[in-house]
Every structure is written in structure tokens, then in C-alpha cells.
Amino acid sequence: MNPIHIITASAGSGKTYRLSSLLHDRIAAKTVRPEAVIATTFTKKAAAELQERVRQRLIARGLTGEANRLAAARMGTVNAICSGLVMDFAFEKGLFSETKVLDESAAKRELKRAMSSVMTASVSSRFADLKSRFEALEWVDAVESLINSARNNGLNSRMLEASKQKSVESLLELLGEPLGPDRDPESDLKTALKRFIRNVDTAIDPTKGTAGALQKARACLTQLEQGRPLNWADWLRLNRLGTGQKSAEHAEALNQVAALHDRHPKLRKDLRDAVTLVFDTAISTLNAYQEHKRVWGVMDFPDQEVLALELLKDPAVREQLKGSIDILLVDEFQDTSPIQLAIL
């Protein structure tokens, strides 16, 4: 196995210059053929800059032939390298060499259309219901984030199904043991709120913090007495409710009852439902998106990475490539995704 060299330095300290020097020196020493170079960069501009720096230094040393041969090197973003690899072996993957590749903006647009196609009235209603209890639940962002993570890690629908159950289990493990059937958390909280409101005396404790705490407590009690459950953010706020020093003991008693929210059976159910719904929507969206691309005969950048990795796992493809690569350079390695790491 060839040695691996890692260059670690801060931004602007000359990492790209170091890479260009390394490549120039190897080519000049005849240990690397210019056309047998693979170099991945974060942007097209960086790839062009790297290639031009090396080319100019080779010309300055009179190595014009090597400088010209550098044009045949594979230099570009990881997506560009993968695209070239896939097109080189398009026949092996049953693809047309002119298969259209969606750019990033077009891919995002088509993915949103796929999500819209799977969003039934029932699914929308379920998300709205969960949103009423989880203020911070931005489900569109959650679904898109999950899809991006899945594709960056090379996960298909079957793998996502397995990940769904693991995600639910690991999340629920963070909570306390659920309260038994003999406990009624809402009833306990109503009692604690009434006691807090009754015991706090603003004549003795006229602080602004205490007045605000009383206002919040009264609003929550009214909501519970009307038969409307509090959302989980309100439970957390009551758990952290603060007052002036003279009312601190009364606030502490309320805090302790509100702290039981993480053992509330309904919280566990809501969390399970939220995670499951986000995963199910992501899986349905991915399936719809893949089918859309299949029908229209297009692919996107993550597709190229998946296909490239599949090709590189093929012994016949590896055998063909083995003699054509002398060196692999990776710029901005810290931005490499798991599937890109597998490709490299």
C-alpha cells in the first residue's frame, strides 16, 4: 500500500501551494505521470488554480511535454471526478453516455416536488398535530436534513428503515423511566400550579421576575382547566420557572412537578411518532425522487457518487484503473462526506 501523507494547517497558510509543489516535484522526478494524476478540490476554481500552478512550474523548468500532458489529469471536485468515472464506464452501469446530470438547484427543486407528491392530507395533518406540541419541530427542514444525511452516507430505503427504529430507541433511552399508570401528570401539574399561585404573595415579593412567573403559571393553569394539554416547551418552561428570592421555595416545588415531563408517557409517544413520521416521509420522498429521475433519464451529484462507488467495488473496473493512477491528491479533506471517503 502506498504511503498516505496528511497536511494539516490553518486557512491561508499555503496548503494548496504545498500540494502543487508536491505534484510538481513528483512529475519532475518522473515518479508520477501527468496523465495519471487524480486531484480532488472543493471548487472548480481551486482545481483550475492547482493545475495551472503545476503547469507553469513545469514549463519554467523546460518540461513542456509534461505540462501539456497534465491536461489529461483528472482534476476537479469529487463530483466531477465521479462523473468522469461513471461516464467512462457507462456501459457497465447500463447508462447512456449523454445522461443529463441535474445541477444542485435543479436537484433541490425536483426533490421538493417529490416531497409534495407524497404529502397527503393525512400526513400534513399529523405533522400539524405534532407541531402543536413541539414548537421547534420544523418538519420540512428535518425531512430534507435526513435525506441529505442518508445520501451523503450512501443509505438506501432499506437502510433508512433500520435506522428509523434505532433512532427511536436511542432517543427514548435519553428519557427517564415512564410514569406508572397510577400517575396523572396533568392533574399533578394543575395541583402544583394552584399551590404556586396561591402561595406567592406579590406584596411580599414585588419583583418583575415573580410577576412574570405568576402570569405564566395562570396562563398554563387556565389552559389545563379548559382541557387543552400544554405543549412540551411549556412543560420545560415551568420546569425552569424562576422568581424573586422570596418566592424561590414555591417556584422550586412547581419546578419539581414540571420536571416529570421527561417521564410523561405522552411525551414518549409524541417523540416516537415524530421520528417515525419524519423517517417515513423521507423514505417516501426518496423513492418518489428516484422514480422521477428514472422516468426522465437523469441523475444528480449524489447518484454519481453512488454509481462511482459501485464501480470501484467491481474487481474488473479496479483492474482497468489500476495502471492508470499514480497519485491521488485530496484538497480540503475535512469536508469529505462518508460516501466520498469510501470512494477515495
**pLDDT value at residue 5:** 73
Q: Which cell numbers in the block locate residue 180?
A: 406508572
pLDDT at 251 over 60: yes
pLDDT at 14 over 70: yes
More confident of the two residues 12 and 21: 21
The set of long-range contacts for 190-198, using a CB threshold of 8 Å and a minimum separation of 24, is 190/221, 190/224, 190/225, 191/257, 192/253, 192/254, 192/257, 192/258, 193/217, 193/220, 193/221, 193/224, 193/238, 193/254, 194/221, 195/250, 195/253, 195/254, 196/250, 196/251, 196/253, 196/254, 197/221
Q: Is 343 exposed, middle or buried (0-12, 13-18, 19+ CB in 10 A)?
A: buried
**pLDDT value at residue 98:** 64
Quote the percentage of the chain above a pLDDT of 70: 97
More confident of the two residues 15 and 190: 190
Identify how many contiguous H helices and E strands the chain contains and give both numbers. Answer: 16, 5
Instruction: Yes or no: say if 274 and 296 are a contact pair by the CB < 8 Å rule.
Output: no
Average pLDDT rounded to a whole number, residues 207-233 = 95
Instruction: Yes or no: say if 238 and 189 are a contact pair by the CB < 8 Å rule.
Output: yes
Distance (Å, rounded) from C-alpha 193 to C-alpha 215? 11
Average pLDDT rounded to a whole number, residues 165-178 = 92
Residue type, 166: K
Quote the percentage of the chain above a pLDDT of 90: 69
Give per-residue pLDDT as tens, 288-305.
999 998 888 888 888 889
Instruction: Yes or no: say if 299 and 293 are a contact pair by the CB < 8 Å rule.
Output: yes
CA 224 to the chain's CA centroid: 37
Average pLDDT rounded to a whole number, residues 235-251 = 95
For 134, phi and psi rounded to 5 degrees?
-115, 95
Distance (Å, rounded) from C-alpha 39 to C-alpha 74? 6
What value does the mean pLDDT of the chain take? 91
